[in-house]
Amino acid sequence: MTGEVAVLGAGMHPWGKWGRSFVEYGTAAAREALSDAGLDWRQVGSIVGADTVRGGYPGYVAGATFAKALGWQGARVASVYAACASGAQAVDTARAQILSGLADVVLVVGADAAPKGFFRPAGGDRHDDPDWLRFRVLGATNPTYFGLYARRRMAVHGDTLEDFAQVKVKNAAMGALNPNARYRKRVTAEEVAASAVVADPLRLLDICATSDGGAALVLSSMEFARRHGAADPVRIRAVSTVTPRYPTTVLDLPDIATDSALAVEPAAETFRASIARAAYEEAGVGPRDLSLAEVYDLSTALELQWYEDLGLCGEGGAAKLLAEGATAPGGRIPVNMSGGLSSFGEAVPAQAIAQVCELTRQLRGTAGARQVAGARVGVTANQGLFGHGSAVIAVR
Amino acid sequence: MSRTRTPVVTGWFAGEGDDFRLLGTRCSVCASVFFPREDAACRNPGCSGGELIEVSLSRRGRVWSYTDSRYRPPSPYVSDRELKWQPYALIAVELAAERLVVLGQTVPGVTVADLAVGMEVEVVPGVLNEDAETTWTTWHWRPTGVTA
């Protein structure tokens, strides 16, 4: 297919609370990705960074920061910000450059040093920022929204706290096998139930932490990959970056209210479902073709929501799919074999790239104890604050 | 010296007692309602764009979902760090006439144990926080039949 790009290299800096600069994490991940690709940094024609916050003007700098750290070599540079979707937009930007012939080889990097505890908006008295307003007026943290979704699922679909806990049990077991994960310990349902409530009905072990971390990919044209001796590389076949459609009827971060559905009948599918559908359409695959999925489990309940939005089961069927073991290792469609955000925590600009790193390893068959047997097609899914869709489909 | 009562945001709500209402805007062409108010242009992509007129939202709605905040939220939420943290509940309320969902804190004393999805609630005036000069006012949701 002409729309494909090759993944020549993948690299990560382990997640954790390391207390160092995001530049260090991203550079380490980039060096590992270059080494994995068997390429010298000077062969890279373009670098795309997923942005993070850094003090001082202009505050959001990523591409050039990593280019400087790796050694200025005159490459084309871009930086993208799309909240949690930043990594996917960075992949998309790299892909567009490769497919349009602007660059043969592109390095994609995302890294962050996250604050401890709740994410919070930048300072100042900023009444024009919905993110600032939700904190000032309502004290609505990110877990507030996860709690609302979880409680809604319990009321509408009959999900239980035990269902949510089983997501954590599954993901923690996978995280225990992943050397790049921050949390590498198995967890029991009893431990989830015994952890403190953060935002009713969700507990500490239902919600992902904030973390430091970095991830990088080396992407190239299929033609370059062949010349480079990679005859059968992992390929990226789709990147979905869609926005919602008016009116959005699910209360999403950071909104205080939904759109009104008075004038326009809402679409049958939710925003999250449209993110997945756009990726499936672009890749020419469907949920039944998937070997595995990496989804943004900001909370255990949200992972269940993704099962439905990805079409792995019908609406309301997620808890049953989980209980049947379909999303566990050896199941029909294993989800979050990396351990997920549950095991990694959030390092915002890196995470969507880290998801593609996991797909790359799985599709190469080099995921070790986490390996999904015979993996051929994988999807990643997440959603960036302020209406950024994000899904990547990779194939082998 | 008495404090001045000031809305935490301008133009989102008005009135006292039973006359208290959330304020939004309505497009004069397509009738879309916006809360928080949209004063620049109608956001319906199929609308040619009309005048945006201030409207009061329905006083009562039903609980779409709810949660609470067991840990102190970070700034810019204002709380007294000298005092032990008291969780508050938050409700997302579906307003049938406007076909939208609005988030808000509950009146003090109402906890998640008092709430259920589908329960009817009404909007009432509330106090968000006070400082030396100002009482910052807001809206609260209160289950109907329950007096704060």
Mean pLDDT, rounded, for A144-169: 98
Q: What is the ipTM of this complex?
A: 0.96
pTM to 2 decimal places: 0.96
Cα separation, A396 vs B24, in Å, equals 51
What percent of chain A lies above the pLDDT cut of 70?
A: 98
Res B1: pLDDT: 62
To the nearest whole number, what is the mean pLDDT of chain A?
A: 95
Nearest to A218 by CA among A32, A26, A28: A32
Query: In angstroms, rounded to a whole number, what is the distance separating the alpha carbons of residues B34 and B52?
Result: 9
Q: Do B47 and A152 touch (CB under 8 A)?
A: no
Quick one: average pLDDT of B76-82? 94
pLDDT average, residue stretch A319-334:
98
Query: Hey, is the C-beta of B20 within 8 angstroms of any chain A C-beta?
Result: no
Supply the pLDDT for residue A352.
97
What distance in Å separates residue B9's CA from the closest CA in chain A? 8
For the segment A179-187, the average pLDDT, to the nearest whole number, is 97
Q: What band does A59 get if pLDDT is binned at 50, 70 and 90?
A: low
Does the pLDDT value for residue A1 go beyond 50?
A: no
* Nearest Cα to Cα of residue B55 among B21, B6, B30, B81: B21
Phi, psi (degrees; rounded to nearest 5) at A231? -75, -30
Q: Closest partner residue to A262 among B33, B43, B101, by Cβ?
A: B33
Element (H, E) at B27: strand B21-27
A92 pLDDT more than 70: yes
Tell me how far apart the terminal alpha carbons of chain A are, to the nearest angstrom.
12
CA distance A67 to chain B (A): 34
3-state SS assignment for residue A155: helix
- Choose the closest CB to A260 out of B9, B33, B77: B33
Residue A74, pLDDT score = 98
- A220 in contact with chain B, both atoms CB, cutoff 8 A: no
Assess contact for A111 and A215: CB atoms under 8 A: yes
* Burial letters A255-277, b for 16+ CB under 10 A, else e: bbbbbbbbbbebeeebbbbbbbb
* Chain B CB contacts of A137 below 8 Å: 8-9, 128, 138
Predicted confidence band of residue A126 (pLDDT cuts 50, 70, 90): confident
Q: Which residues of A touch B10 (CB under 8 A)?
A: 127
What is chain A's alpha carbon radius of gyration, rounded to the nearest angstrom? 20
Higher pLDDT pick, A232 / A114 = A232
Task: Please compute the mean of the pLDDT values over residues A149-166 and round it to a whole number.
Answer: 98
How many angstroms separate the CA atoms of B69 and B92, rounded? 14
Residue A2 has pLDDT above 70, yes or no: no
Mean pLDDT of B91-116: 97
pLDDT over threshold 80, residue A107: yes
For the stretch A3-15, pLDDT in tens is 999 999 999 999 9
Amino acid at the residue B18: D
Question: Any CB–CB contact under 8 A between A205 and chain B?
Answer: no
Cross-chain CB nearest to B104 (options A138, A152, A202): A138
Q: Does B8 touch chain A (CB under 8 A)?
A: yes
Using a CB-CB distance cutoff of 8 angstroms, which residues of chain A are in contact with residue B75? 120, 123, 135
Q: What distance in Å separates the CA atoms of residue A94 and residue A88, rounded to the nearest whole number?
A: 10
Q: Which residues contact A178 (CB under 8 A, 6 or more apart)?
A: A184, A338, A339, A343, A370
pLDDT classification of A315: cutoffs 50, 70, 90: very high
What integer is the mean pLDDT of A314-322? 98
**Cα gap A264→B45, rounded to integer Å:** 10
Measured between beta carbons, which residues in chain B are less than 8 angstroms from residue A199? Answer: 67-70
pLDDT at site A123: 80
Structure confidence at residue B148 as a pLDDT band (50, 70, 90): very low
Q: Do A133 and B75 touch (CB under 8 A)?
A: no
A46-74: average pLDDT:
86
The CA distance from B144 to the nearest CA of chain A, in Å, is 20
Mark yes or no for CB contact A264/B43 under 8 Å: no
Contacts of A238 (CB under 8 A, 6+ apart): A278, A279, A280, A281, A282, A283, A391, A392, A393
Residue A121, pLDDT score: 83
How far apart CA A213 and CA A94 sit, in angstroms, is: 21
Mean pLDDT, residues B29-53 taken together: 96
DSSP state of B84: P
Residue pLDDT, tens place only, A235-293: 999 999 999 999 999 999 999 999 999 999 999 999 999 999 999 999 999 999 999 99
Nearest to A201 by CA among B121, B111, B102, B77: B111
Distance from CA of A136 to the nearest CA of B (A): 4
Window 69-108 of B: residues touching A by CB (8 A cutoff) are: 69-71, 73-79, 88-90, 92, 98-105
Residue A260 to chain B, least CA–CA distance (Å) = 5
